[in-house]
Amino acid sequence: MRSLIMHEKIKTTSAKAKVIKPLLDKLISKGKDNNLNTRREFLVFFNSNEVVSKILNQLSPKYKNRNGGYTKIIKLKRRLGDGAEIVLMHFI
């Protein structure tokens, strides 16, 4: 989740993306209330000021008028070694 927040797009496996998507959508929705309590909760979760600042100052205001569905998953290919499905996950 930290890499997706910082780089705004990542390539990962389909299973990981499906786990991250609902958690990240809830965090962005919660980040719309930019107050001290939200900042402290995010600091406990991420343990990084720059990630928390990016959520609260850039991402959450960007989606202020959107009700949900902040991320998108695009299927790319299968990995050669184990056949895991690789996807591109990014913010809309």
Contact 7/50 with Cβ under 8 angstroms?
no
CATH number of the domain at 53, please. Answer: 3.90.1030.10
- The token pair at 73 is 């998953």
Q: SS3 of 61, please?
A: helix
Please report the pLDDT score of residue 88 as a whole number: 97
| pLDDT > 90? residue 42 | yes
d(CA 44, CA 3): 17
What would the pLDDT profile of 54-88 be if each residue is shown by its tens digit?
999 999 989 988 888 899 999 999 999 899 999 99
pTM as predicted: 0.85
DSSP annotation of 84 reads: P
Task: Tell me the residue range of the domain where 81 lies.
Answer: 2-91
Q: Which two tokens stand for residue 83?
A: 């056949």
C-alpha triplet 1, 45, 14: angle, nearest 5°:
25
Number of domains in the chain: 1
